[in-house]
Structure 1
């Protein structure tokens, strides 16, 4: 375990907040693998300031299992840490530091297991796939996934090591976010009849979004794997107007859908588009300058859908002894891996309850249990 803790400590020391480069960490991982004779592919983004990494251990044949995690972390700004977030601190059976549980603990454990992977008589490979920008756009994994599809023999399963306390997660909700921009006509507040209030119309849109959210809660499909067991929708921020005595010309609202795997986001978007189209026509009766436009706010992430007889779930259940499916409310890169054709589950060490907060930590006991999982996975890859 000391080797694992040493590597995780090195990983935590790299500030890989999503708005910063992760190259120093990726190069550290590349060099560490090279010390064991493993040549990793480093896939840079268009700007050249970030990269993902893919490495294969074992024979270049079909049936490989991918262990995947993201290298980026959320910011520490505005959080009251008891320890330096980029200096790993071991205390009372917990390893503290930014990214310790999300997901540098998982990545560090996989890297610490490399000598064990190499010593095993693998008949099918283990692949390490580490991405970037999961915490911001969740798009950094896409070039990595495409590269895997182009270069790897058929993969049996992808295991995303997000913190699930070692439980096999077969489903998670998707996330889709939009911003709706309303353009009205400004006027002096003493003559509102000469203007068109963007904020009034934005308020009507918010009311429709609330009605939609209530319908999702009471009328739509249920997903008993989730809490809450229905798709959710909320308005996160609102901006509008620039002075108390001016009829507001502009308003903007941001809204987000967390959809069950069985609920299509297109239906929600179509309902909102239909409503706003009717509002826009009403506004344009006063002035053709009025508009309502809805745009994607940030990248969507597909839901992870349970796979009937899925190879990843079957394997992970066999390795853990788990029998019942479970789902989580947070999303992950698993949705994208599945969307691109890979059988995928989420299963990693630590608790999501410790992620994204001050004094983030991972229990050493969680790392030890997950190491046993990786040992069982290694043995499986050695069998006929």
Structure 2
């Protein structure tokens, strides 16, 4: 499946194509890093993707537009139905089984924020401009910049559902028709740096059930709020003693949503809390055991009072994810957010890179600079070339 790369650098440097030209916005204060026609195509593609709202579970329109765009660029495109009106987009050239896969996600968090481009500051914003339509656009333009054999050994995959549960990548990973790859480059906002790994994640939910009563006679009821508060107190103590590592730091626990009761003068019958745990070390099984041990007495006490406390887990979660970052010339970081990397099963080299910073993602000021987009095109090309050469060398050494 590997290509004959020699002389690889000569082939690649002579293989940069210029996609079809689109009207370029007015000149900005910064010199483009790409040829004018390539920069124009990049901005057009990025703008169109951002202008199409694609909040998770409503990705149909952007997926179908992207499929049409890629077909116009002579890709073979397959739509994998993940759920009704939700499709992953798989695109490739002359062959379906390729060595390299570039992948990112086309869904965004709510709410939708419209696209804008400030030509004075060269800042481009809008929902998804960073997370992760910046990566989508840059990966496509980077691939279009290769010709002949190299482009034919690259596939593109753009998935739905990453922002909620990874449904798109999970479905692709389990797809009976899925090709196997040797190199997968994932796109997320990484500040233009190569990520060496990210924390794991688990989502426990605590649900307390009591007995409603008049607040003037609280002894006639059982307060679900009291049960939940005591449970959360135990977890506040526990989070100071969770596994940590030199690479990822401390495991963190965020009490993201807490609700209970119906009124101040009513003993609460139900209460619930949703948590996000970012794992710096340890396995999901170990974390479950620690949480259960911390809450054992609370569960027992609630039962004696006539109430209950249940702990459920949104999914199995995962521990810290180590990612390949063995390519020279890139700054290296670790990140605390989750990605689709652990959802694609298989034996392959995996890299994580993208334009923009996570610190503005999911916000009303999500934005990045045009030069960050252009640099990402160049960097994705560098990643493809370097990772492919390394894979080729490793196969020779074997």
Q: TM-score, normalised by structure 1?
A: 0.82
Q: CA deviation at 1:150?
A: 4.3
Q: CA deviation at 1:193?
A: 3.0
- Taking structure 1 as reference, are residues 3 and 170 closer, same or farther at Cα in structure 2, changes over 3 Å only? same
Cα deviations across residues 262-302 of structure 1 (Å, max 9, x unaligned)? 32232232232234443333233343xx2211122x45653
How many residues of Structure 1 are paired with residues of Structure 2 in the alignment?
Answer: 352
Q: CA deviation at 1:213?
A: 0.8
Task: Quote the Cα distance in structure 2 between the aligned partners of 1:382 and 1:281.
Answer: 57
- Taking structure 1 as reference, are residues 135 and 60 closer, same or farther at Cα in structure 2, changes over 3 Å only? closer
Task: Quote the Cα distance in structure 1 between the aligned partners of 2:195 and 2:74.
Answer: 33
Does the CA-based 8 Å contact 2:203-2:317 persist in structure 1? no
- Taking structure 1 as reference, are residues 121 and 377 closer, same or farther at Cα in structure 2, changes over 3 Å only? farther
For 2:374, the equivalent position in structure 1 comes to: 368
For 1:81, the equivalent position in structure 2 comes to: none
Match of 2:245 among 198, 203, 222: 222
Cα deviations across residues 152-177 of structure 1 (Å, max 9, x unaligned)? 1x412211111112211021112211
Question: Is 1:165 equivalent to 2:191 in the alignment?
Answer: yes
Does the CA-based 8 Å contact 2:255-2:275 persist in structure 1? yes
Higher relative contact order (CA 8 A, sep 6+): 1
Question: Is 1:185 equivalent to 2:211 in the alignment?
Answer: yes
Gaps of 5+ in 1: 78-83
Match of 1:356 among 322, 345, 362: 362
- Taking structure 1 as reference, are residues 36 and 124 closer, same or farther at Cα in structure 2, changes over 3 Å only? closer
Match of 2:169 among 130, 141, 150: 141
Question: Is 1:273 equivalent to 2:292 in the alignment?
Answer: yes
Task: Quote the Cα distance in structure 2 between the aligned partners of 1:188 and 1:121.
Answer: 76
Does the CA-based 8 Å contact 2:209-2:224 persist in structure 1? yes
Does the CA-based 8 Å contact 1:134-1:140 persist in structure 2? yes
Does the CA-based 8 Å contact 1:67-1:127 persist in structure 2? yes
Task: Quote the Cα distance in structure 2 between the aligned partners of 1:57 and 1:365.
Answer: 28
Task: Quote the Cα distance in structure 2 between the aligned partners of 1:377 and 1:169.
Answer: 12
Q: CA deviation at 1:91?
A: 4.3
Q: CA deviation at 1:120?
A: 3.4
For 2:4, the equivalent position in structure 1 comes to: none
- Taking structure 1 as reference, are residues 235 and 165 closer, same or farther at Cα in structure 2, changes over 3 Å only? closer
For 2:325, the equivalent position in structure 1 comes to: 313
For 2:262, the equivalent position in structure 1 comes to: 242
- Taking structure 1 as reference, are residues 61 and 22 closer, same or farther at Cα in structure 2, changes over 3 Å only? closer
Q: CA deviation at 1:126?
A: 1.0
- Taking structure 1 as reference, are residues 382 and 330 closer, same or farther at Cα in structure 2, changes over 3 Å only? closer
Question: Is 1:22 equivalent to 2:59 in the alignment?
Answer: yes
Could you say what secondary structure the match of 2:195 adopts?
A: coil
- Taking structure 1 as reference, are residues 190 and 381 closer, same or farther at Cα in structure 2, changes over 3 Å only? closer
- Taking structure 1 as reference, are residues 90 and 156 closer, same or farther at Cα in structure 2, changes over 3 Å only? farther
Could you say what secondary structure the match of 2:167 adopts?
A: coil
Q: CA deviation at 1:328?
A: 0.6
For 2:318, the equivalent position in structure 1 comes to: 302
For 1:345, the equivalent position in structure 2 comes to: 351
Task: Quote the Cα distance in structure 2 between the aligned partners of 1:237 and 1:365.
Answer: 38
Give matches, 1:80-229, under 5 Å.
85-86=114-115, 90-117=119-146, 119-122=147-150, 125-147=153-175, 150-152=177-179, 154-216=180-242, 220-224=243-247, 226=248, 229=249
- Taking structure 1 as reference, are residues 349 and 303 closer, same or farther at Cα in structure 2, changes over 3 Å only? farther
Q: CA deviation at 1:68?
A: 0.8
- Taking structure 1 as reference, are residues 259 and 194 closer, same or farther at Cα in structure 2, changes over 3 Å only? same
Does the CA-based 8 Å contact 2:182-2:347 persist in structure 1? no
Task: Quote the Cα distance in structure 2 between the aligned partners of 1:123 and 1:50.
Answer: 27
Q: CA deviation at 1:15?
A: 0.4
Does the CA-based 8 Å contact 1:121-1:382 persist in structure 2? no
Could you say what secondary structure the match of 2:276 adopts?
A: strand
Task: Quote the Cα distance in structure 2 between the aligned partners of 1:24 and 1:89.
Answer: 26
Question: Is 1:50 equivalent to 2:89 in the alignment?
Answer: no
For 1:33, the equivalent position in structure 2 comes to: 70
Task: Quote the Cα distance in structure 1 between the aligned partners of 2:287 and 2:370.
Answer: 43
